[in-house]
Amino acid sequence: PKLFAIAKKTKPPTTVMAVGSWLNSNPVIGREILDGGHDLGNHTLNHRTMTTLTLKEAMAEVAKGRSAIMKSVGKSSKLFRPSGTQKSNEIIRKAAGASGYANCITYDVDTLDYQDPSAKAIVGNCMRSVQNGSIVSLHFGHAHTVTALPLLIQALHGRGLTPVTVSTLLRP
């Protein structure tokens, strides 16, 4: 809720790659994400490291993540990001394709916020490598991410960059 309040106040739309088990535990959040003008994508059911899974396991993770989104918002998402890895591999791409995802979304800027550094470090990690067209990885559930978000948005604007959703960024 704190992150969405900041996003509402500072106006950047976000893309939430949601873990299905989180959506299942918070059934109204998917609709709140979409109603707030944000993107909602599939980030698997249980956030397992997909590069360690068999094809059958990967297919189940993707399909059940997709089902959680469908249950939460009544429709699927076109966005999928594999969990536990920055890059997809053949098994991940086959699993994603089996659930109707034409592409696997990745990111090029890792803020390392999941390691719980300071808000200043999160902003610094982003600003060192962010450029026009970057996809920045941030995570819910980390207090310093919440603190860093308005500072990060201000720093991005200071560089002439405007945050957009992944679907807007990749729109043809």
Instruction: Report pLDDT digits (tens) over 101-114.
Output: 999 999 999 999 99
Q: Tell me, what's the pLDDT at 141?
A: 83
What is residue 80's predicted lDDT score, i.e. its pLDDT?
98
Q: Give CA–CA dist 168/172, Å, rounded.
A: 9
Q: What is the pLDDT of residue 41?
A: 97
pLDDT at 10: 72
The single-letter code of the amino acid at 114 is: Y
pLDDT of residue 132: 96
Sequence-ordered alpha helix ranges (H) in the chain: 2-10, 20-25, 29-35, 55-73, 90-98, 119-127, 143-158, 166-169
Query: Nearest to residue 45, comparing CAs of 21, 69, 16, 74?
Result: 21
Asked if 154 contacts 120 with a C-beta cutoff of 8 angstroms, the reply is no
If phi > 0 it is left, if psi is from -120 to 50 it is alpha, else beta; for residue 113 that is: alpha
- pLDDT digits 0-9 by tens, 7-29: 777 777 889 999 999 999 998 99
Residues with pLDDT less than 70, the chain: 1
Angstrom distance (rounded) from CA 20 to CA 25: 9
Rounded to whole angstroms, how far apart are CA atoms 171 and 67?
Answer: 25
Q: How many CB atoms lie within 10 A of CB 90?
A: 8
Amino acid code (one letter) for 171: R
Whole-number Å distance between alpha carbons of 68 and 129: 33
pTM (whole model) above 0.85: yes
For strand 15-18 and strand 39-42, is the pairing parallel, antiparallel, or unpaired?
parallel
pLDDT for position 11? 73
Q: Please give the C-alpha separations between residue 158 and each of 44, 152, 153, 155, 161, in angstroms, as whole numbers.
A: 34, 10, 8, 5, 7
